[in-house]
Amino acid sequence: MTDPQQPWPVPPPATPGSPAAPPAPPMNPYTAPAPYAPPVQQPGSPVPPVPVYQAPPGAFAGPAAGYAAPYAPAATPPHGPALGRIALILSLVATVALTAVAAVLAWQIARGASASVSVSSFESGSLAFLTPVRDLVLWFEITGWTATAIGIWALVQGIVSIAKRRGRGAGIAAVIIAGIGPVVFVGVAYLAVLLGAVVGLGAR
């Protein structure tokens, strides 16, 4: 009978004359398991079916039609260059077309007023010499204020088109043309007045 405190069985003592037993190899209770070797597929043998997972009865299987794709907002269609082009057209109307109309009116005003102008009217500072052409003066003022309003509109719309990249090139051109529009308007009108005055004084 072995001692319960000893973990390994102790062999009986050898009798005199008997050969000594070989020592037992040490026992290691923490022997590492043999490495896993996958089975070798023999040529020509059928391929085993792949196991398919099946949910147990009563388990949630998700929607039958599958999960829907995440919501994506509709792409905003790109805006065209219409904003910049409209600003360019407005700047051309204010700087070119209305300036030409104002030049014609200024020439007619100067020619008509110079025909009846007198030295005393200039010395007194009176505008009585404009009485024969007062209708043309009114139209000249209307043309000037209209050109100013359209020029400001073209300038603002050109800046917006540049900021939003909706016809940026046309917007830059509109800003430049609308910016120099007042200078062109005043300069052309002044030259028209001089020419009209020369023609009117020459006809007297």
pTM: 0.56
Rounded distance, CA 35 to CA 166, Å?
Answer: 70
Residue 71 has pLDDT above 70, yes or no: no
Q: Is residue 76 part of a domain?
A: no
Number of domains in the chain: 1
Residue 180 has pLDDT above 80, yes or no: yes
Q: What is the percent of the chain where pLDDT is above 70?
A: 53
Q: Residue holding tokens 């001692």? A: 3
Q: Is residue 40 part of a domain?
A: no
Average pLDDT over residues 118-139: 69
Residue of higher predicted confidence among 8 and 89:
89
**Do 145 and 102 form a contact (C-beta atoms < 8 A)?**
no
Q: Residue 49: which residues within 8 A CB-CB, separation 6 or more?
A: none
Give the CA angle between residues 124, 130, 132 to the nearest 5°: 130
**Do 87 and 154 form a contact (C-beta atoms < 8 A)?**
yes
* pLDDT value at residue 114: 79
Domain range enclosing 198: 82-203
Residue 190 has pLDDT above 90, yes or no: yes
Q: Is residue 4 part of a domain?
A: no
Q: Is residue 64 part of a domain?
A: no
Q: Is residue 146 part of a domain?
A: yes
Average pLDDT over residues 185-200: 89
pLDDT tens, position by position, 21-47: 666 666 655 666 666 666 666 666 676
